[in-house]
Structure 1
């Protein structure tokens, strides 16, 4: 995983868009983004480590998603556009990258700058509920990931708006940030 500020220059969303200013893991954790590096060839297998973290974090369900033209079929173009629209979820977004690579862009609070997080095979990333973010494939144009869920799988994106700003999960997220800076 590598994180940095997004350069905000026009161009294909799948390009690096690296401003040259990196963001370290401690700063990401303060924003509510968690990360584990679990190599796919780890001793004992990555599955046992994922199972351990899933139990620790109360992730009860899982499935896989194949974000490719073949995996998404006719929905590919529309899904890619939807994923890149700024949104939040009322649940954590948890992904373990099995193959390929992708970007998760998260909004830094309170600056509102985009931080781009490039995730690779073996990266487990958790974006807490209430964080504004977006997703994009990178130039490889493919990623396969294990999705983990606390409850029954659901994936409801709430586009950023004044209404979403007052969503209870967004407010809880902002309050958690304010509590750590006091």
Structure 2
């Protein structure tokens, strides 16, 4: 089950693969995470997702028509350290970012409306949907391994736009949704 919390600003210069949570911890519930950022969460059974219909229903409802698998580890990813640094660069996408973790673990960090970092820990069975236009980043944890499915609407166009890109249409749309509040 996914966990989310506000990150400590004092940890900004420490190893990105560590939990980096406030002391005392400042956790967020899943409903609060959605209200404050628009990030959605689904629990998927990794043993039955191919046959139980739950993932198929979500894919149909959201219009996901393309998927692939990605494995991030020192053994499987060329230029591992460079790739990890690029994933951790604060950016946004013009489409949703959808990840279903099949094995391993990692962290997605997203910004709230006050520009504070919220860290989302994902493990096997966690599927998160990061809205288009939200500033975010990804890193592995100290296990240095994750295998996930990625989903797309149509052909994958997965370009990161590094911050600042505040005048992009997707960013402006996201800010309007953020102001109105996510239901």
TM-score range, shorter chain: over 0.9
Shift of 1:18: 1.3
Report the counterpart of residue 26 of structure 2 in structure 1. 21
Q: Give, in whole Å, the separation in 2 of the partners of 1:16 and 1:177.
A: 26
State the SS of the aligned residue for 1:124: strand
Normalised TM-score (structure 1): 0.92
1:80 alignment partner, SS class: helix
2:40 maps to which of 34, 46, 70: 34
Partner Cα distance (2:86, 2:75) in 1: 18
**Distance change (3 Å), C-alpha of 1:71 and 1:154:** farther
Post-superposition Cα deviations, 1:17-42, rounded to whole Å, max 9, x if no partner, equal: 0111001111211211000011213x
**DSSP-derived class of the 2:77 partner:** helix
Counterpart in 1 of 2:170?
Answer: 169
How far did 1:84 drift? 0.3
Q: Which residue of 2 aligns with 1:84?
A: 88
**Equivalent in 68, 80, 84 of residue 63 of structure 1:** 68
Gaps of 5+ in 1: none
Residue 159 of structure 1 and its aligned partner are, at CA, apart by: 0.5
The TM-score normalised by the length of structure 2 is: 0.92
SS in 2 for 1:126: strand
Q: Deviations over 1:32-84 (max 9, x none)?
A: 1000011213xxx21232111100111110000001112212x2111100000
RMSD: 1.1
Distance 2:61 2:129 in 1: 13
CA-CA distance at 1:180 after TM superposition: 2.6
Aligned length: 174
Q: How far apart are residue 136 of structure 1 and its match?
A: 0.4
Given the alignment of the two structures, is residue 136 of structure 1 paired with residue 139 of structure 2, yes or no?
Answer: yes
* Dislocated runs of 4+, deviation >6 Å: none
- Consecutive unaligned residues of structure 2, counting only runs of 5 or more, are none
1:106 to 90, 105, 110: 110
